[in-house]
Chain A
């Protein structure tokens, strides 16, 4: 297991270097000068030059990149051009929101997907199965901002149960504020899990060892949870891992609709403002997270399916 982990970690290094380079080069290629954007239309070329010098953007790209990398290794991402505070601090405060939302969403999606997938698989091609599959296709296909607004209309305006938006105060407030967004993401994520898990359960139910377990007269719930579910979950875990990596940076629409100060919205506003240090740091953070999540997924995979470790 240790060797396996080491191998995977070493493989990640060139990926990370590639990500950092891409993060740096791409944003510098996009037209639009931060100083011009900060100063606005009226800026004289002299003022733009002064500001670029203050921001250190007049130096050669190579030395800017080296500074970025040297800092990144020490977890020092410099100072935001726009917010004038440390980029590390900005990311730290925003990561909490996104991670909490992500975790909450995953919990909700599992709570929805697992029971429904089992029911669906056991009642294959019966009306209940069709009903579940129809419903999940619907929530999956619906654009998340629309789903989010519909949930707000129902839960906040009609029932007045939950706040329309915002992150709230304190942990209880955060949970209340995050419930609707997490439900929105959960309803998007659940069908993906449901579909793979349903297929997995159906396949596993047909295997010989399940037949054998049945023949031995084991209790149905025990077969289902100990033998079927664990073996069916392998591909679902992979799908979940991929989606979580994707969602980490893809929550921007949800964060926007629900006014949540997360990483995705920070990335968009940084790009719009050409806040180079923040963009570079965020891209790197997202890249590292995806690599780490993939690694964790593989480890979980290895735990679930010992053959992988061989």
Chain B
């Protein structure tokens, strides 16, 4: 794929994103944010529903992504890619137990799923060349390709059954149990065919099995060595295999000699170096010690862009920022006040001065997922309208708003300083309370985190491409998280979420999600700010580098020039 094509893909549908983390300038807490990003994103896995599959039609018979070609030139083999990462492979490399982007994005290089989420909003063939579902959507049959694990053993239907049943087991798949929840059992039809039976219709099923936790692992090896050892010595069928992992320092990958996409990967070696400090990462690519560095701070993009031989790729992520409001804290139960806050928010100004343009103004309480409706207008910045709403509200004279923010996040701090000034104009006195992110997030979800809260730019994101899971978590308290701590509860929205999840009718799903988006925007359980982007510095000798929406990079396609 060349770069132009990437752009088209992005505009047409989903976006690419990169590592879940915005690193702060000097201290390590960024790692934890990363973890959250990983968690949230992976957790909020969405249904990547293949529209064509609804009626039982087979799809995706073709190969996956084409090998690199086109304007970027002919790929050449060889070379070592040095990648300065903000995150370490901190929780090992076992797909069933890896709730951190530090591990997940490397797992994606080592393992394959039955189907794979790539740059657009549909799933693509992975270890399955094609698949079909029964009329009622309860039985999904997958046809496997001839593939081998890196140890030379073939990938069989037994391995698939073993892996998917682990994914469906809430005791093993503790981290993402809700995503395998609709799976009843797996039948081996023949060595190249499996049928997955669902206990109820699940529009996000294909998305769920496209995620890393549903990666296909060799049954024999896992049973022999156990999960813990497997986590340190993973064996997968993906493009790379693990050569060495030195905790806190680096992870080295080499090509899987048995990889089924012939000719790939092009690189001889990938070295992920763990470089937690953002400034050091920048210096690393500037000095040429690394060719790629992730999580570039907003305020350094311009300087890096001016460096010869470097570009900064900003990729849309499935992540978003909002100021969440606790509707149980007076006077925030008043819809007029919440709308007034939205009208009094100068999103353009923040975008320019804090994020240097690297984000998109949000028109939704949730990220830009598969059914995101672009036509719904965001709240405009309109102080007059905001004052009008305040005058009509239950607190015409204004009120004090206690707003909790994560400590040590310059971008959040600056954003909130601007909001403080602007909201003062409508009589709202903001009292900023910085807290450590882990502590504040937990407290906020339990309704104990003050009146309002906001999180780091990439802290909240999705690991799958359709809307079901994230929309439920953000807006429906019955999903267990108190509507992301807001206590928002609209029976109509809750009903629409359930209906959308329970149907394979794409048109109905799109309508439902658009309606939910509009209702939630109007009723404003939050002040939506931005759809955020990841920023990755890439040396010009690195060809075909891109970031998928779920955050990882298909390094199998990457090659080095010269």
List residues of chain A with CB under 8 Å of any chain B CB. 30-33, 36-45, 47, 50-51, 54, 82-84, 90, 93-94, 145, 149, 152-153, 156-157, 160, 163-167, 252-253, 256-259, 261, 265-266, 268-269, 272-274
A268/B28 in contact, CB under 8 A = yes
Cβ < 8 Å to A, chain B residues 176-231: 177-178, 228, 231
Cβ contacts under 8 Å, A266 to chain B: 248
* B55: interface (CB < 8 Å): no
Q: Counting CB contacts under 8 A, is B64 at the interface?
A: no
Task: Return the CB mask of B429-452 against A: 1 if under 8 Å, else 0.
Answer: 000000011110111010000000
Q: A47-B170, A47-B174 are in contact. List 15 more A-B contacts (CB 8 A).
A: A31-B439, A39-B175, A40-B42, A41-B481, A41-B484, A84-B228, A90-B247, A165-B284, A167-B249, A253-B27, A256-B27, A259-B280, A265-B276, A269-B28, A272-B437
Contact B438 A40 (CB under 8 A): no
Shortest beta-carbon distance, B28 to chain A, in Å?
4
Interface code B276-311, partner A: CB below 8 Å = 1, 0 otherwise?
110110011011010000000000000000000000
* CB contact under 8 A between A31 and B442, given known A41-B481, A94-B248, A257-B280: yes
Q: Which A residues are in CB contact (< 8 Å) with B460? A: 41
Contact of A41 with B473 in the complex, beta carbons under 8 Å: yes
Across-interface contacts of A50 in B (CB, < 8 A): 170-171, 174
Q: Nearest chain-A residue to B24 (Cβ)? A: A256
- The reply to whether A32 and B90 contact each other, CB–CB distance below 8 Å, is no
CB pairs A–B below 8 angstroms (27 shown): A30-B439, A32-B439, A37-B438, A39-B43, A40-B36, A40-B42, A41-B43, A41-B445, A42-B43, A44-B178, A50-B174, A83-B247, A93-B247, A152-B283, A156-B287, A157-B283, A164-B280, A165-B277, A165-B284, A167-B249, A256-B26, A258-B277, A261-B274, A265-B28, A269-B28, A272-B437, A274-B438
Pick the contact of B481 from A42, A84, A259 — CB < 8 Å?
A42
Q: Which residues of B contact A149 (CB under 8 A)?
A: 279-280, 283
CB under 8 Å from chain A, chain B span 441-499 = 441-443, 445, 460, 469, 473, 479-481, 484
Name B485's closest neighbour in chain A (CB-CB): A41
Closest to A153 in B: B283
Residues of B within 8 A of A51 (CB): 174
| Shortest Cβ gap from A295 to chain B (Å) | 30
B231 engages A84 (CB within 8 Å): yes
B contact residues vs A (CB 8 Å cutoff): 26-29, 31-32, 35-36, 38-40, 42-44, 90-92, 99, 170-171, 174-175, 177-178, 228, 231, 246-250, 273-277, 279-280, 283-284, 286-287, 289, 436-439, 441-443, 445, 460, 469, 473, 479-481, 484
In the complex, what residues of A have CB within 8 A of residue B438's CB? 32, 37, 272-274
Query: Are the C-beta atoms of A256 and B36 separated by less than 8 Å?
Result: no
Q: How far is the CB of A282 from chain B (nearest CB, A)?
A: 14
Which of A33, A38, A259 contacts B277, CB < 8 Å? Answer: A259
In the bound assembly, the distance between CA atoms of A303 and B177 in angstroms comes to 63
**A residues in contact with B178, CB < 8 Å:** 42, 44
User: With A50-B171, A166-B273 as given contacts, are A256 and B28 in contact (CB-CB < 8 Å)?
Assistant: yes
Residues of A within 8 Å of B31, CB to CB, are: 269, 272
Give chain A residues whose Cβ lies under 8 Å from the Cβ of B277: 145, 165, 256-259
- Give the interface centre of B38, B42, B43, B438 by most chain A CB atoms within 10 Å: B438
Shortest distance from the beta carbon of A152 to any chain B beta carbon, whole Å: 5
Given the complex of chains A and B, what is the CA–CA distance between A152 and B279 in angstroms? 10
Which of B40, B91, B248, B442 counts the most chain A CB atoms within 10 A? B248
Which listed residue (B39, B174, B177) contacts A41, Cβ 8 A? B39
Q: A31-B443, A83-B91 are in contact. Are A165 and B26 (CB under 8 A)?
A: no
Assembly CA distance A42 to B479 (angstroms): 8
Whether B175 contacts A268 by the Cβ 8 Å rule is no
Shortest CB–CB separation between residue A175 and chain B, in angstroms? 16
Residues of B contacting A90 in the complex (Cβ-Cβ under 8 angstroms): 247
Give the distance in Å from the alpha carbon of A181 to the alpha carbon of B39 in the complex: 33
Among B92, B436, B439, which residue has its beta carbon within 8 angstroms of that of A84? B92
A43 CB contacts on chain B under 8 angstroms: 43, 480
CB atoms of B275 and A272 under 8 A apart? no
How many angstroms between the C-alpha atoms of A138 and B175 in the bound complex? Answer: 50
Contacts of A268 in B (CB 8 A): 27-29
A35 CB, nearest partner CB in chain B, Å:
9
In the bound assembly, the distance between CA atoms of A289 and B438 in angstroms comes to: 29
Chain A, Cβ-Cβ closest to B228: A84
Structural contact, A265 and B248, CB atoms closer than 8 A:
yes
B247 and A259 form a contact (CB under 8 A): no
Q: Are B280 and A152 in contact (CB under 8 A)?
A: yes
The residues of B that contact A54 with a CB separation of less than 8 Å are 174
6 interchain residue pairs of minimum CB distance: A40-B39, A261-B248, A42-B43, A272-B32, A268-B28, A259-B275
Question: In the complex, A89 Cα to B178 Cα: how many Å?
Answer: 34
The reply to whether B44 and A42 contact each other, CB–CB distance below 8 Å, is yes
Expressed in whole angstroms, the Cα–Cα distance for A45 and B177 within the complex equals 12
Instruction: List residues of chain B with CB within 8 A of the CB of A82.
Output: 90-91
Q: In the bound complex, do residue B175 and residue A164 qualify as a contact, i.e. CB atoms below 8 Å apart?
A: no
Interfacial chain B residues near A253, Cβ < 8 Å: 26-27
Cα-based distance from A165 to B473 in the complex (angstroms):
40
A167 to B441, CA, bound (A): 34
* A47 CB contacts on chain B under 8 angstroms: 170, 174, 177
Note all chain A residues with C-beta closer than 8 A to B42.
40
B90 contacts across to A, CB distance below 8 A: 82-83, 269
Contact A41 B441 (CB under 8 A): yes
Q: How far is the CA of A153 from the CA of B178 in the complex (A)?
A: 48
Measured in the bound complex, the distance between the Cα atoms of B177 and A42 in whole Å is 10
- On chain B, the residues within 8 Å of A160 by CB distance are 287
**Closest beta carbon of chain B to A83's beta carbon, Å:** 7
Q: Which residues of A contact B247 (CB under 8 A)?
A: 83, 90, 93, 261
Is B287's CB under 8 angstroms from A37's CB? no
Q: State whether A269 and B280 are in contact (beta carbons under 8 Å apart), knowing that A84-B231, A156-B287 are contacts in the complex.
A: no
Closest Cβ neighbor of B481 among chain A residues:
A41
Q: Which residues of B contact A265 (CB under 8 A)?
A: 28, 248, 276
Tell me whether A40 and B26 are in contact (CB under 8 A).
no
Cβ-defined partner of A42 (8 Å) among B231, B249, B279, B473: B473
Specify which of B27, B174, B274, B284 is in contact with A164 (CB 8 Å cutoff). B284
In the bound complex, CA of A181 to CA of B460 (Å):
34
Question: Of B29, B170, B279, which is in contact with the most chain A CB atoms at under 10 Å from its CB?
Answer: B279
Set of chain B residues within 8 Å of A83, measured between Cβ atoms: 90-92, 247
Q: How far is the CA of A167 from the CA of B250 in the complex (A)?
A: 10
Whether the Cβ atoms of B39 and A164 lie closer than 8 Å is: no
The residue in chain B whose Cβ has the minimal distance to the Cβ of A50 is B174
Q: A82-B91, A253-B26, A261-B247 are in contact. Are A38 and B284 (CB under 8 A)?
A: no
Bound together, the chains give a CA A47 to CA B231 distance in angstroms of 21
C-alpha spacing A88/B246, complex, angstroms: 16
Chain B residues, CB < 8 A from A45: 480
A39 cross-chain contacts in B, Cβ below 8 A: 39, 43, 99, 174-175
Closest to B470 in A: A42
Chain B residues with CB under 8 Å of A30's CB are: 439
Do residues B29 and A164 form an inter-chain contact, with CB atoms below 8 A? Answer: no
Q: Do A40 and B175 have beta carbons less than 8 Å apart?
A: yes
List the B residue with the shortest CB-CB distance to A167: B249
